Amino acid sequence: MNLLSEKGFPEKLKKMSFDELEALCEEIREILISTVSKNGGHLASNLGVVELTVALHRVFSSPGDQIIFDVGHQAYTHKLLTGRYGKFQTLRREGGISGFPKPSESCHDVFATGHSSTSVSAACGFASAKNIKGEGGKVIAVIGDGAFTGGMVYEGLNNAGDYKNLIIALNDNEMSISKNVGGIARYLASTRTKRSYLQLKSYTKSFLSNIPFLGEKLIKRISSGASLLKEALYHSTLFEDLGFVYFGPVDGHDIKKCCEVFEAAKNFKNGPVFVHVTTVKGKGFVFAEQNPGAFHGVTKIDPDSPSAELPSEDSYSAAFGKKLTSLAESDSKICAVTAAMKYATGLNFFHDRFPKRFFDVGIAEEHAVTFSAGLAKAGLVPVFAVYSTFLQRAYDQIIHDAAVNKAHVVLAIDRAGLVGDDGETHQGLFDAAFLSAIPRVTVFSPFSYAELEDALERAVLGCKYIAAVRYPRGAEAKITNRAFIKNFTGGYSTDYNYYSAGANSLVCTYGREFAEVANAFRGQYDILKLCRISPVPEDCLKIALKYDRIYFYEEGIKKGGIGEHFIAALSEAGYAGEFRHIAVDFGLVGHASVKSSLKKLRLDAGSIFEDIGVPVNAK
């Protein structure tokens, strides 16, 4: 059995029998499990949408019909069916195929995704373009119920009612990344339990119309009541209220039923269609089915006896989570907020200890920041733990709600800097730049766990306004260079470390990048490591002014980065020496290991030594 290796997908799907399609789905599941076991990636979410995706590609004709995957981590089956079966073993590997839809990979990936809740808006754009250009075909947004906690979906839905060529396929697995939260989740759950909703509605309709007594009574006794009743009966879902025709719910693992419902949606001409498909996250892989949250994003697993990715003890996330919990022991004002990332951010420790002061708001970073600002203005001390890349969603809220309100909101920014295999949609390269431009924000970028703990304590207890503590993904960076420890001496402050070897040139850096810098040298340069990166400590400027030559190494975007603030302040203070700023000159770094990306960006110890290891004076 090797159906996928045959040519002609996805068109070929249209001619296959349902038995063949089922066999194909089984084959796809095997490939998903074996590949993700080796390469890492999103397992449970992809296992959940195998039949849904096969059905979509059977019923519709991509790329004439355009399929947009929300978040995009569930597009593996789509990739297997659209020309990337042969390369699938390169998934998430450098130079290989991305773990997310990527237009440069295939004409079938019409829109790159990575963050949540964007698909409806993008699909509206494609649907609108079809109308303007007079093109046929449909646009399908495939979106999980978890993405419905993100407000952007509603902005899209609010504008979607007019697109008759638009289909929203809700992949309802009752999960976002872990368990879904809030009113929308409860609402979807109530819809889901009405098993034969569609049938029942038509049934009720004919039932009611067959009771003349009822009709008469209604007309007679409530003048506007009939329409009210009717409306209440036939417009009882959120989505119908928004102008959609609602089909479902349909069993998302029944390939035949999936094909039927999409066929019906395809043939429906009078409005946008909302197809509600219920799926089981991790379907077909017993470990993942039982604990899909743990298998959301995995690095590598042994498919026979997998241990899921739990927050590693040896990680910045765990260090953060434990320290915050310990701070909260002696301060009842401290609260923790997460946007659907309880485990990944290490907040599980806090949640277990202080459930009443813990808030998982769903995938809703905007709300999270403004909610935190509200908590702060009411006298509490909220700590919002969030990935750097997702904090971008709340840029305006940080300015407009937290900074303008002078709110003491603490941002614990995980995955700051390069993130590795998830690639360009997930890099945390902008936060240092955008936060440092906002008034009243203090930004710490600690190097070690100990510094993280110290910085967090200062952010929580010692700052008056917005305070951010940012740290990389994974484990503490290590200094392996013995010469560094031997040759350098220098001052220390909680805001910075200054290592002098008596050189006449200085290298400045901060965060994880310090390990690369420290590992590169044997005393050729003095080193200044910032911990408080914004505002840059005055003392650091004074130190730097003494040097003839300064290199600023930064694992973050160059334009607007800390290095630019640094040289601008130095220049205004009269610095006339040489300067070089080695940072990420282009913020959209593709998927590759962190190590490999650092090397390509000339930010790893080896490149640093190659580039400046022999100081100019010594040359």
Specify the residue, 191 or 497, whose C-beta has the smaller distance to a second copy.
191
Specify the residue, 15 or 133, whose C-beta has the smaller distance to a second copy.
133
Sheet containing 578-584: give its strands across.
496-499, 526-530, 505-510, 549-557, 578-584
Residues 6+ apart with CB under 8 A from 379: 333
Specify the residue, 21 or 324, whose C-beta has the smaller distance to a second copy.
324
What is the C-alpha separation between 545 and 527, in angstroms, rounded?
13
Can residue 124 be called a binding residue for a second copy (CB under 8 A)? yes
Question: Is the bond into 249 cis (omega within 30 degrees of 0)?
Answer: yes
Can residue 273 be called a binding residue for a second copy (CB under 8 A)? no
Can residue 220 be called a binding residue for a second copy (CB under 8 A)? no
Residue list 29-48, contact with a second copy (CB under 8 A): none
Q: For a second copy, which residue of 214, 461, 479, 545 counts as binding (CB under 8 A)?
A: 214
What is the C-alpha separation between 565 and 571, in angstroms, rounded?
10
Q: For a second copy, which residue of 4, 242, 264, 461 counts as binding (CB under 8 A)?
A: 242
Residue list 168-187, contact with a second copy (CB under 8 A): 181-187
Residue list 540-599, contact with a second copy (CB under 8 A): 557, 559-561, 563-565, 567-568, 571-572, 574, 576-581, 586-588
Which residues belong to the active site? 281, 365, 393
Question: Is the bond into 10 cis (omega within 30 degrees of 0)?
Answer: yes
Question: What number of residues does the chain have?
Answer: 619
In whole angstroms, the minimum distance from the beta carbon of 425 to a second copy comes to 6
Among the listed ranges 106-114, 443-451, 481-489, 603-611, the one in contact with a second copy (CB under 8 A) is 106-114
Can residue 160 be called a binding residue for a second copy (CB under 8 A)? yes
In whole angstroms, the minimum distance from the beta carbon of 37 to a second copy comes to 28
Specify the residue, 156 or 252, whose C-beta has the smaller distance to a second copy.
156
**What is the DSSP secondary structure assignment for residue 244, as one 8-state letter?**
P
Could you list the beta-strand ranges (E) of 310-368.
Answer: 334-338, 358-360
Can residue 222 be called a binding residue for a second copy (CB under 8 A)? yes
Q: For a second copy, which residue of 10, 48, 99, 114 counts as binding (CB under 8 A)?
A: 114
Closest CA to 546 of 524, 573, 520: 573
Q: For a second copy, which residue of 189, 233, 450, 616 counts as binding (CB under 8 A)?
A: 233
Q: For a second copy, which residue of 61, 89, 106, 121 counts as binding (CB under 8 A)?
A: 121
Among the listed ranges 392-400, 410-418, 472-480, 610-618, the one in contact with a second copy (CB under 8 A) is 392-400
**What is the DSSP secondary structure assignment for residue 290, as one 8-state letter?**
H
What is the C-alpha separation between 601 and 558, in angstroms, rounded?
11
Burial of 395 (0-12, 13-18, 19+ CB in 10 A): middle
In whole angstroms, the minimum distance from the beta carbon of 364 to a second copy comes to 4
Check: CB of residue 489 under 8 Å from CB of residue 498.
no
In whole angstroms, the minimum distance from the beta carbon of 253 to a second copy comes to 23
In whole angstroms, the minimum distance from the beta carbon of 42 to a second copy comes to 18
What is the C-alpha separation between 556 and 417, in angstroms, rounded?
6
* One-letter-per-residue 3-state SS of 554-594: EEEECCCCHHHHHHHHHHHCCCCCEEEEEEECCCCCCCCCH
Can residue 137 be called a binding residue for a second copy (CB under 8 A)? no
How many residues lie near a second copy (CB under 8 A)? 131
Check: CB of residue 175 under 8 Å from CB of residue 146.
yes
- Name the 3-class secondary structure at 111: coil
Can residue 211 be called a binding residue for a second copy (CB under 8 A)? yes
Can residue 199 be called a binding residue for a second copy (CB under 8 A)? no
Pairing of strands 410-414, 505-510: unpaired
Give me the sign of the Cα torsion angle 256, 259, 261, 263.
negative
Can residue 151 be called a binding residue for a second copy (CB under 8 A)? yes
What Rg value do the Cα atoms of the chain yield, rounded? Answer: 27
Q: For a second copy, which residue of 108, 393, 470, 473 counts as binding (CB under 8 A)?
A: 393
Residue list 408-447, contact with a second copy (CB under 8 A): 424-425, 430, 433-434, 436-440
Partners of residue 489 on adjacent β-strands: 500
Residue list 59-88, contact with a second copy (CB under 8 A): 66
Q: For a second copy, which residue of 13, 56, 67, 110 counts as binding (CB under 8 A)?
A: 110
Q: For a second copy, which residue of 15, 133, 269, 482 counts as binding (CB under 8 A)?
A: 133
Can residue 474 be called a binding residue for a second copy (CB under 8 A)? no
Can residue 366 be called a binding residue for a second copy (CB under 8 A)? yes
Q: For a second copy, which residue of 8, 136, 212, 379 counts as binding (CB under 8 A)?
A: 379
At residue 401, φ and ψ (nearest 5 deg) are -105, -40
Among the listed ranges 38-46, 88-96, 298-306, 364-372, the one in contact with a second copy (CB under 8 A) is 364-372
Among the listed ranges 26-34, 80-88, 171-179, 207-215, the one in contact with a second copy (CB under 8 A) is 207-215
Specify the residue, 123 or 460, whose C-beta has the smaller distance to a second copy.
123
Specify the residue, 233 or 485, whose C-beta has the smaller distance to a second copy.
233
Residue list 302-361, contact with a second copy (CB under 8 A): 335, 356-357, 359, 361
Specify the residue, 378 or 618, whose C-beta has the smaller distance to a second copy.
378
Structure tokens belonging to residue 128: 């609108």
Distance of CA 375 to the CA centre of its chain: 25
Among the listed ranges 34-42, 125-133, 290-298, 410-418, the one in contact with a second copy (CB under 8 A) is 125-133
> Which ranges of 417-465 does DSSP label H, i.e. alpha helix?
431-436, 449-457
Alpha carbon separation from 287 to 29, 283, 295, 305, 525 (Å, rounded)? 14, 10, 8, 8, 52
In whole angstroms, the minimum distance from the beta carbon of 242 to a second copy comes to 4
Distance of CA 442 to the CA centre of its chain: 24
**What is the DSSP secondary structure assignment for residue 406, as one 8-state letter?**
T
Distance of CA 85 to the CA centre of its chain: 25
